């Protein structure tokens, strides 16, 4: 990477919308407490009392940026332009001035104004998308002699936009801020430090930022490992649609922290169609400075991952190919791709460990699988592979029959049965692969009438992990059955991904604790 790189660390900057002097000072103090290096005072609605505005920048507990963003650039200031610039000038001349004053490139170009102070940020924002003249804007900022810092912000339409933001930072000859707004743009905010941006913006509280997609300062520090990010940090994430509520960033980032691995794990939303998946993958993999090294892939992209890796000449774990879905992408040092499925192995091992048997010992055991969707498919394939005899009970019998036909004879035996045959079942292991009993419907259970054979010798595994103890598991425990929560499967599939990416065992206690905290549980 060529271009300009600030010697100092990228500054974590909390943007504060100013409504009053004391509120803004209190917010700035809280931002500093939470680890902000800078604050940006957005004075858009605090321009009537110039003395108070000057007082604010002089009393700020941390170095500050002063910005009065006009409505025509997405801000809230709708007053006179000359009054706005007069106030900026006054702020610049304060005995303790802001370190930077932000002025829009359009304002700078429109009038022959004297830019305030010697810490001028020239900025450009587009809340609709990438401006067509983005590169001309960059050139104009680069050539403006008073411009100390270039700031480019635009709404990302896909994850691909982040790459251009990174390229702008890497190529710039002045300190640069390049940020993509919105959910797709979060990587540009979190990875600003990896690419040596002058600063990134964060909000004081989650969901409260001054621009779409801002992450809170605490999330930046704790969840996304801000302090640990280096130019060499490897990038991972969860690819799906939607991914906003995924627990995977919390789990994997905590794992990276606990093991000291130089990685960061991000949400990576990709709309459902294969074309989106492929285009995003290609752009992220092709941009080598990103160090994109792996992803958890979830609904609706588990099939897309297999197709993509096959098209790119990568390798596919045989059982993942047989299941028809992969949940893990691993990118090797030489850039080659590998797709695997850690869900089925997690389910197998959770059951084997609970029974204190090996996978091979599953041969001939009778397993009742409830449901015939994606999770059931992975579990049926895996247990059949080790020779179990499986009955698939499903609401829609046709789907159970299709699933059985697919895997019957693949070492084990698989048959289908309607859901109402369940009470007559004589299986040793029952696995729920439906969402029945999942939060918020916690009073539901997929087994309304228990088979008489369910006793101390029976294992009941619910793939649901929210709640950790479902009604199914509670009732199974009352009958003396051995129970396994979906939490086991969830943490084990994540642990297998972690191991593939880092070549280190995952800190299981940390994973378990993070999931329990997220689900509002403490202790076992
Ligand atoms: P899916 O593909 O949508 O399949 C859902 C299955 O549940 C279908 O067979 C469906 O029956 C059945 N079902 C849904 N609602 C039902 C109802 N009210 N009554 C009877 N049957 C019903 O979903 P999936 O991806 O397989 O996921 C299923 C569950 O597995 C999830 O809810 C999740 O809790 C769990 N899971 C856990 C993990 C983990 O790591 N612990 C991982 C993956 C999945 P029809 O065929 O009749 O529609």
Summarize pLDDT for 331-355 with one digit per residue, the tens: 999 999 999 999 999 999 999 999 9
Residue 32's nearest CA partner among 71, 62, 66 is 62
Among 325, 416, 434, name the best residue to mutate to test ligand 1's pocket (greatest count of ligand atoms within 8 A of Cβ).
Answer: 434
Structure tokens at 521: 């549980």
* Residue 262: C-alpha distances to residues 33, 133, 166, 191, 235 (Å): 26, 36, 19, 13, 9
Q: Whose CA is nearest to atom 46 of ligand 1?
A: 396
CA of 467 to the centre of ligand 1 (A): 15
Q: Which of 27, 102, 125, 221 is catalytic?
A: 125
User: Which candidate, 249, 309, 241, 268, places its Cα nearest to that of 498?
Assistant: 249
CA 434 to ligand 1 center in whole angstroms: 3
Distance 277 CA to ligand 1 centre (A): 24
Closest by CA position to 489, among listed 473, 465, 460, 508: 465
Give yes or no: 343 in active site. yes
Contact 31, 63 (CB under 8 A): no
Distance (Å, rounded) from C-alpha 357 to C-alpha 349? 9
For ligand 1, atom 1: residue with the closest CA: 373
Give 55-82 pLDDT, tens digit per residue: 999 999 999 999 999 999 999 999 999 9
Angle ∠(55,105,75) on CA atoms, nearest 5: 55
**pLDDT of res. 271:** 98
The active-site residue out of 343, 349, 462, 512 is 343
- What is the reported pLDDT for 112? 66
Whether residue 125 lies in the annotated active site: yes
Report the C-alpha gap between 297 and 341 in whole angstroms: 10
pLDDT at 524: 44
Pocket of ligand 1 (CB under 6 A): 343, 371-376, 394-396, 399, 433-436, 438, 463-465, 486, 489-490, 493
- Please, what is the angle between helix 486-502 and helix 342-355, to 10°? 120
Q: 371 alpha carbon to ligand 1 midpoint, in Å?
A: 6
Q: What separation in Å is there between the alpha carbon of 370 and the centre of ligand 1?
A: 9
Pocket test residue of 375, 472, 516 for ligand 1, highest count of atoms within 8 A of CB: 375
pLDDT, tens digit (0-9, with 9 covering 90-100), for 200-234: 999 999 988 888 889 999 999 999 999 999 999 99
Nearest CA to ligand 1 atom 21: 395
For atom 37 of ligand 1, the residue with the nearest CA is 463
* Rg, Å, the chain Cα set: 27
Mean pLDDT by 10 residues, the chain (524 residues): 53 97 98 97 97 98 98 97 94 96 95 81 97 98 96 98 98 97 97 98 91 92 97 98 94 98 98 98 98 97 98 97 96 98 96 97 98 96 97 97 95 95 96 97 97 97 96 98 97 98 98 94 51
* Atom 30 of ligand 1: nearest residue by CA position: 433
Catalytic status, residue 151: yes
SS3 label, residue 165:
helix
pLDDT in the model for residue 111 = 79
Atom of ligand 1 nearest to the CA of 487: 41
What is the position in ligand 1's atom list of the atom closest to the CA of 377? 26
Residues contacting 333, CB < 8 A, separation 6+: none
Buried b / exposed e over 139-160, threshold 16 CB at 10 Å, is ebbeebeebbbbbbbbbbebbb
How far apart (Å, rounded) are the C-alpha atoms in residues 63 and 54?
14
Q: Using the atom order of ligand 1, give the atom closest to the CA of residue 419.
A: 20
Distance 464 CA to ligand 1 centre (A): 9
Residue nearest atom 27 in ligand 1 by C-alpha distance: 375
Q: Give all strands (DSSP E) within 182-300, no chain letters.
A: 199-202, 234-240, 263-269, 292-297
Handedness of CA 299, 305, 308, 311 (dihedral sign): negative
User: What's the pLDDT at 64?
Assistant: 98
51 Cβ contact list (under 8 Å, min separation 6)? none
- The pLDDT score that the predictor gives to residue 326 is 97
- Find the catalytic residue in 27, 44, 151, 194: 151
Kindly report the protein residue whose alpha carbon is nearest to atom 38 of ligand 1.
Answer: 463
């Amino acid at each position: 990477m060529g271009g300009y790189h600030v010697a100092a660390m990228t500054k974590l900057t909390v943007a504060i919308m100013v409504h009053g002097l004391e509120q803004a000072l209190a917010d700035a103090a809280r931002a500093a407490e939470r680890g902000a290096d800078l604050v940006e005072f957005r004075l858009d609605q605090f321009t009537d009392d110039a003395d108070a505005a000057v007082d604010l920048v002089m009393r700020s507990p941390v170095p500050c940026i002063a910005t009065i963003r006009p409505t025509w650039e997405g801000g809230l200031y709708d007053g006179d332009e000359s009054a706005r610039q007069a106030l900026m000038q006054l702020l610049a001349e304060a005995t303790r001035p802001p370190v930077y004053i932000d002025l829009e490139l359009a304002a700078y170009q429109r009038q022959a104004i004297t830019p305030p102070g010697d810490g001028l940020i020239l900025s450009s924002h587009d809340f609709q998308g990438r401006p067509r003249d983005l590169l001309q804007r960059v050139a104009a900022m680069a050539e403006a002699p008073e411009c100390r810092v270039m700031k480019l912000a635009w709404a990302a339409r896909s994850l691909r936009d982040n790459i251009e933001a990174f390229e702008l930072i890497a190529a710039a000859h002045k300190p640069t801020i390049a940020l993509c707004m919105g959910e797709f743009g979060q990587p540009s905010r979190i990875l600003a430090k990896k690419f040596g941006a002058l600063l990134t913006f964060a909000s004081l509280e989650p969901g409260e930022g001054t621009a779409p997609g801002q992450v809170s300062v605490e999330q930046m520090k704790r969840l996304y490992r801000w302090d640990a990010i280096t130019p060499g940090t490897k990038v991972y994430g969860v690819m799906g649609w939607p991914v906003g509520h995924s627990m995977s960033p919390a789990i994997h980032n905590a794992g990276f922290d606990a093991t000291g691995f130089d990685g960061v794990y991000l949400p990576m939303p990709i709309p459902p169609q294969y074309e989106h998946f492929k285009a995003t993958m290609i752009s992220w993999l092709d941009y080598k400075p990103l160090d994109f090294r792996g992803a958890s892939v979830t609904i609706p992209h588990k099939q897309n991952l297999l197709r993509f890796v096959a098209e790119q000449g990568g390798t596919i774990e045989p059982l993942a190919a047989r299941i028809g879905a992969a949940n893990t992408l691993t990118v090797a040092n030489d850039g080659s791709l590998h797709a695997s499925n850690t869900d089925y192995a997690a389910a197998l091992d959770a059951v084997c460990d609970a029974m204190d048997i090996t996978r091979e010992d599953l041969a001939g055991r009778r397993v009742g699988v409830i449901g015939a969707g994606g999770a059931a498919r992975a579990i049926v394939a895996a247990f059949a592979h080790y020779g179990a005899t499986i009955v698939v009970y499903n609401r829609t019998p046709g789907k159970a029959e299709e699933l059985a036909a697919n895997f019957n004879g693949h070492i084990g035996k698989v048959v289908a049965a309607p859901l109402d045959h369940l009470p007559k079942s004589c299986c040793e292991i029952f696995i729920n692969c439906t969402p029945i009993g999942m939060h918020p419907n916690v009073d539901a259970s997929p087994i309304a009438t228990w088979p008489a054979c369910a006793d101390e010798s029976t294992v009941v595994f619910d793939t649901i992990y929210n709640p950790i103890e479902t009604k199914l598991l509670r009732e199974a425990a009352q009958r003396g059955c051995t129970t396994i929560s979906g939490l086991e499967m969830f943490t084990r599939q994540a642990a297998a991904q972690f191991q593939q990416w880092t070549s280190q065992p995952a800190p299981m206690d940390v994973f378990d604790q993070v999931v329990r905290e997220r689900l509002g549980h403490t202790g076992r």
